Structure 1
Amino acid sequence: MTDCRLYLRASTNDQNAGRAREQLEKFAAEHDLKIVARYMENESGAKLRRPELFRLLNDANPFDVLLVEQIDRLSRLAASDWQMLRDEIGKRQIRVVALDLPTSWRLADATDEFTERMFAAVNGMMLDMLAAVARKDYEDRRRRVTQGQAKAKAEGRYTGRKEDGKRNDLIASMLAARLSWTQIQEGTKASRATIAKIAKRQREVVEQ
């Protein structure tokens, strides 16, 4: 059996990163793949440095399968960052298999070296194409959101995202108690940008 590592990702903390787990496990069973680890995180696919993704890459052995639901779970990266990730995957000889990329399924099956190299080449081209499509979709969505916000502001309807006052009060208390930002992130699931904003407010109050 071929060792397989599941990668499950969602963009935000209020989304379920493990939504596709059952589907991936079923695919693995049908293709005689041995699941040796599961890696789950809530991080943007437009960001290259994702802790669980790189933990997977560091843990993987040559010819392990990296199994994802869709290519956009692996990448919504800009072209230069996608190339860096592709290089890392290639250097480690990891085989990427995605449920939305049937050409990759043959890489999950034991086969002769020639056939495997042929499918790896075809799969590489398809990976690049789907990664480009995923990036375009990401940029189109961001542009539509920006345009919608601009229109709402012009019409006096946009007030921005409401703050989570209870969470932000907790962050302020944890900062006052001199907990580290990492501890605060783990305890509140807030982004570092949010913690920085609360910390800045506290400094401004002290300086007044």
Structure 2
Amino acid sequence: MTFIRAYLRASTKEQDAGRARGDLEAFCKERGLTLAATYEENESGASLHRPELFRLLRDSKPGDILLTEQVDRLSRLSDKDWDQLKREIKDREVKVVALDLPTSHMMMKSEDAFTGRMFDAINGMLLDMLAAIARKDYDDRRRRQAQGIAKAKAEGRMKGRPEDAERNQAILEMLRKGQSWNTIVRATNCSRSTLAKLAKRLVPLDEPEGRAS
């Protein structure tokens, strides 16, 4: 018996991973099919750290269907990671069906061996193409974001995180009292680089501020 397992993914905790559940259920209902299980997670599509996706694959039997809304829900992976995921899917003999890949819809029908192999080959080629497009879109957005940040910094529009004045004043007092850096780091959870910057603000007690060298 073939089981259809829906995979739903969103990139951040603030996004609704289950947003497309209704579309997947409607897709199956139109074809007289029923979802056996749904797997949801909030993880980046550019990472192979996808516990629910791999749980879906472990639960699957040969011939089961992995149903997803779009190919980019499955992969925004690098070529190396996409090849690894494809091997896992192939080894478990799972068929991938995506709503945005019409040729994959044929995978849900029982076909003769020749037709099945033909559609499998076509589907695999198109999956690779859409996965490559999804990765390019991911890389392009990251590049534009980095360019935007660099431009904002150059124009003085990005000042960085505001200083925690209260915490830094407490650190300065601890430094004046001679407490060790390790003690201060443990007590305030500040980085050693921040501590080094604050230490430079201290003026030796025997040298008045503003004294000429």
TM-score range, shorter chain: 0.7 to 0.9
Secondary structure in structure 2 of the residue aligned to 1:7? strand
Give, in whole Å, the separation in 2 of the partners of 1:3 and 1:155: 56
- More divergent stretch after superposition (78-87 vs 153-162): 153-162
Cα offset, 1:55, TM superposition: 0.6
RMSD: 2.2
| Structure 1 pair 160–63 and aligned structure 2 pair: CA distance change class (3 A) | farther
CA contact (8 A) 1:33 1:108 kept: no
Consecutive unaligned residues of structure 1, counting only runs of 5 or more, are 163-198
Q: Once the 2 structures are TM-superposed, how far is the Cα of residue 18 of structure 1 from its aligned partner? A: 0.8
Relative to structure 1, is the Cα distance of residues 150 and 204 closer, same or farther in structure 2, using a 3 angstrom cutoff? closer
Normalized against structure 2, the TM-score is what? 0.75
> Partner residue of 2:28?
28
- Asked if the contact 1:31/1:109 (under 8 Å) is kept, the reply is no
Per-residue Cα deviation, 1:146-176 (whole angstroms, up to 9, x for no partner): 00000011111124579xxxxxxxxxxxxxx
d(CA) in 2 for partners of 1:41, 1:138: 19
1:20-169 correspondence to structure 2 within 5 Å: 20-160=20-160
**Which residue of structure 2 aligns with residue 194 of structure 1?**
none
AA aligned to 1:31 is: R
- Report the CA distance shift for 1:160/1:82 in structure 2 as closer, same or farther (over 3 A): farther
What runs of 5+ residues in structure 2 fail to find an aligned partner? 163-185, 196-213
Whether the 8 Å CA contact 2:25–2:34 is kept in 1: the answer is no
Q: How many angstroms apart in 2 are the aligned matches of 1:139 and 1:68?
A: 22
Letter in 2 for 1:81: D
1:202 aligns with 2:186: no
- Aligned counterparts of 1:139 and 1:2: Cα–Cα separation in 2: 36
Aligned to 2:7: 7
TM-score relative to the length of structure 1:
0.77
Percent identity between the aligned chains?
Answer: 61
Aligned pair count reads: 171
